Amino acid sequence: MTWPHKDLLDVTQLSRADALEILRAAKSFQEINSRPVKKVPILKGKSVILFFAEPSTRTKTSFDVAGKRLSADTFSLAKSGSSLVKGESLKDTVLTLQAMKPDGIVMRHNMSGAAQFIAERLDCAVINAGDGWHAHPTQALLDAFTLTERWGGLEGKTVLILGDVAHSRVARSNVHLLRLLGANVRLCGPRTLMPHAVKSWNVPVFNDLDEAVRGVDAVMCLRLQLERQQAGLLPDVREYSRRYCMNMPRLAKAAKNCVVLHPGPINRGWEIASDMADAPESLILDQVSSGVDVRMALLHLYLTRKERKE
Amino acid sequence: MSQADLVVRRAALAQAPQDYVDLFVAKGRVLGVFPSGSQAAPEGAKVVEAEGLLLLPSLTDVHVHLREPGQEWKETIATGLAAAAKGGFGSVMCMANTDPVNDQAPITETMLDKAARSHPRGPRLYPVGALTMGLEGKILAPMEELKTAGCKAFSNDGRPVSDSELFRRALEYASDLGVPVIDHCEDPWLAPATGINEGVVSARLGLRGNPDISEAIQAARDCLLAEYLNVPVHLAHISSKRSVDVIRAAKAKGAPVTAETCPHYLILTEEACEGYNTNAKVNPPLRTGEDRQALLAALEDGTIDALATDHAPHAAHEKETPFDEAPNGISGLETALSVTWELAARGELSVEALIRAWCQRPAEIFGLPLNRFQPGDPADFILFDPNARWKVTPQALLSKGKNTPLLGRELTGVVKALYVAGKHVS
Ligand SMILES: [Zn+2]
């Protein structure tokens, strides 16, 4: 199949067939990642810029590993300390990047819509590695891949997304993708951390975790940002964890074989109890491995798009 | 009776466009409007053939940002007034959030001087003085000095006054001088000026939204203060149904409140922000279809008195950023009449309400020249072709601000001529 998209900005761009194709491709790269020599020449001669205007060790490393295993040359550009971004407008940054003639740019940015902004101005592929509160498509895809690996498919499964939904790009992308792939989605968190218009998302919303967790097949914890407390959205972390920390007693109320996910980095004891994070039901480390598989699939699909068309 | 020095022949009045009239003007004032051909033009009078164009009083915009002094790359008084003239405005009131802020007479005088030099025939410019020094919301501005220099109103527009005690004292002080106060209604604690409505679109795009209650809560405060003090308050750029409800209730109780809304709230909704369209980023933000309907109804029944553009020009590079970084504002002087006339043509607003809101009420509220085509009225008028079409392109706009969500749209209605005090402006 010819990959129809120049950029990956949000999972909302993907059809069900597109999403399944990405998961299929990820599966084939998973095999490569289990070999003793984990390197293939698929993207030899291609250059990928990793432009992380907001710090992220995990996602950036994952993309870096994915690119290198496909033999692409990866270049990192961080916001801090780089003269490139010092007070410079995003438009000028884009023009600078364009002049370096990369084949692809992976971008993380603290402003919603930033990925679309640069994609509209660049000829090369743009992969959104998280923009503001808006979208984190590669995280959603790796979560879906992790769950597919566990279950064989998402059809008919129920996934609870737990925590700060309002400010979460992971939640926004997952709500859409999980439903696209046939899962039921629930949300749970304090009302201060839900979008005011959450009704328009047409998913059940709970504020009581013990009720929300009943019968679910997976719980997806979101990371809690400390500044939510300073912004007056929460009393304190202890109070939050009393109400919303995912732990073993709560897991017992979920469906049999319920699994727990977290996009990381985790705050042990806040969003997830320490023993929960280390339990066999925890897929946190599987998510990290899946991240490399999925990102290899994405780099492959988006960076070889033109050649395939010809 | 003096003799006409200007005669506009075969024009159509909006109320009865089928009957052509002749307008006679002497020394900048209306002499009379007569059935076409019933009076001979005196010798030596300038004769303008209107050929069936609509004859309307020129529009008054009580809320524009002209950016001079301080941000001339966005707009200057010269370019802003040129845009106003093109839009059919005979009078404009410019807000005080310049740099430096218009909080002392020399700034007001400079503005008036720039206007007189660049546009000696008009449009007429009426500066709005700062309500508080530097718009900082701490110390009252020297309002008598500003009034004497030419300010027609006071406002903290752009920096809403959330301190109710200070706002009360400002109203009391301004009322001594008989100068109206304009308030930008927004509780800045409830929502910083994020430029997008808190709703379905902001939830999907992952942007912090501004809830309509941030406007309505401060509007309610202002209505209560106006009633309590019996001092007029004019509420700027009202955007939501909730605020309309508040104003309607206050007016029913006799509170001396007046209000304006802007064309963009009547023709667009929050959906215009889709795709992170920074040209649709405005404060207060574009709201929902329900809000839009409520504003139209409020204009029709007079709950909202006036239309104003809140013309807020920005340079292209300032808007070419991610949504969060872009400044708020829409450039509106030149599209205002076209888009509101289209609403009237579609039957969403009556022509009577349109003329009342663009011409009559703003002039009445702020004591500005008003032309009802009665003998002695200032001869401020436009000749308008309601059927001519034009396309909104950066080149077509005289304002330096090309920041409008209407870019690329074809609009109906062109101002063919503007006259201020009987003089042809453009
Ligand atoms: Zn304002």
Q: Is A261 helix (H, G, I), strand (E, B) or coil?
A: strand
Q: How far apart are CA A65 and CA A67, in angstroms?
A: 6
In the predicted model, what is the mean pLDDT of chain A?
94
Tell me the mean pLDDT in the region B172-185. Answer: 97
CA of B346 to the centre of ligand 1 (A): 29
Is the minimum CB–CB distance between A169 and chain B shorter than 8 Å? Answer: yes
Structure ipTM: 0.91
Between β-strands B46-49 and B54-57, what pairing exists: parallel, antiparallel or unpaired?
Answer: unpaired
CA distance B203 to chain A (A): 6
**What's the pTM?**
0.93
Interface contact B276-A131, CB threshold 8 A: no
Cβ(B92)–Cβ(B75) under 8 Å? no
CA distance B323 to chain A (A): 7
For the segment A67-89, what is each residue's pLDDT rounded down to a tens digit?
999 999 999 987 665 555 567 88
B276, HSE (Cβ side, Cα atoms, 13 Å): 26
For the segment A91-147, what is each residue's pLDDT rounded down to a tens digit?
998 888 889 999 999 999 999 999 999 999 999 999 999 999 999 999 999 999 999
- The DSSP H or E segment spanning B306 is strand B306-307
Angle at Cα B353 formed by Cα B349 and Cα B359, nearest 5°? 130
User: Is there a cis peptide before residue B284, judged by omega within 30 degrees of 0?
Assistant: yes
Q: Following DSSP, what letter does each residue of A140-168 receive, concatenated?
A: HHHHHHHHHHHHS--TT-EEEEES--TT-
Using CA of residue B264, residue B268, residue B270, residue B272, what is the dihedral sign?
A: negative
For residue A191, list chain B residues with Cβ-Cβ distance below 8 A.
Answer: none
Tell me the mean pLDDT in the region B251-268. Answer: 98
- Whole-number pLDDT of residue A306: 73
Chain B residues with CB under 8 Å of a chain A CB are 198-200, 202-209, 211, 275-276, 317, 320-325
- Whole-number pLDDT of residue B204: 97
For the segment A142-185, what is each residue's pLDDT rounded down to a tens digit?
999 999 999 999 999 999 999 999 999 999 999 999 999 999 99
Q: What is the DSSP letter of A128?
A: E
Of B275, B385, B274, the residue nearest B338 (C-alpha): B385
Of B131, B39, B88, the residue nearest B334 (C-alpha): B88
Q: How far apart are CA B312 and CA B292, in angstroms?
A: 20
Interface contact B276-A198, CB threshold 8 A: no
pLDDT higher than threshold 80 for residue A310: no
For residue A197, list chain B residues with Cβ-Cβ distance below 8 A.
Answer: 198-200, 202-203, 209
Q: Is B84 helix (H, G, I), strand (E, B) or coil?
A: helix
- Whole-number pLDDT of residue A80: 61
Interface contact A131-B205, CB threshold 8 A: no
CA distance B200 to chain A (A): 5
For the segment A189-200, what is each residue's pLDDT rounded down to a tens digit?
999 999 999 999
B263, HSE (Cβ side, Cα atoms, 13 Å): 28
- Whole-number pLDDT of residue B1: 56
Of A244, A186, A190, A188, the residue nearest A216 (C-alpha): A186
- Whole-number pLDDT of residue B78: 98
- Whole-number pLDDT of residue A55: 84
Between β-strands B257-261 and B233-235, what pairing exists: parallel, antiparallel or unpaired?
Answer: parallel
For residue B290, list chain A residues with Cβ-Cβ distance below 8 A.
Answer: none
pLDDT-derived band at B88, boundaries 50, 70, 90: very high
Cβ(B66)–Cβ(B26) under 8 Å? no
Among the ranges given (A223-227, A298-302, B47-51), the one the predictor scored with the smallest mean pLDDT: A223-227
- The residue of chain A nearest to residue B211, with distances taken between CA atoms, is A196
Of B277, B403, B383, B274, the residue nearest B335 (C-alpha): B403
For the segment B302-355, what is each residue's pLDDT rounded down to a tens digit?
999 999 999 999 999 999 999 999 999 999 999 999 999 999 999 999 999 999
- Whole-number pLDDT of residue A82: 57
Give helix then strand counts, H and E, for chain A. 13, 9
Is the minimum CB–CB distance between A269 and chain B shorter than 8 Å? Answer: no
Is the minimum CB–CB distance between A89 and chain B shorter than 8 Å? Answer: yes
In the predicted model, what is the mean pLDDT of chain B?
97
pLDDT higher than threshold 80 for residue A308: no
Interface contact B322-A117, CB threshold 8 A: yes
- Whole-number pLDDT of residue A1: 60
- β-strand partners of A185: A159
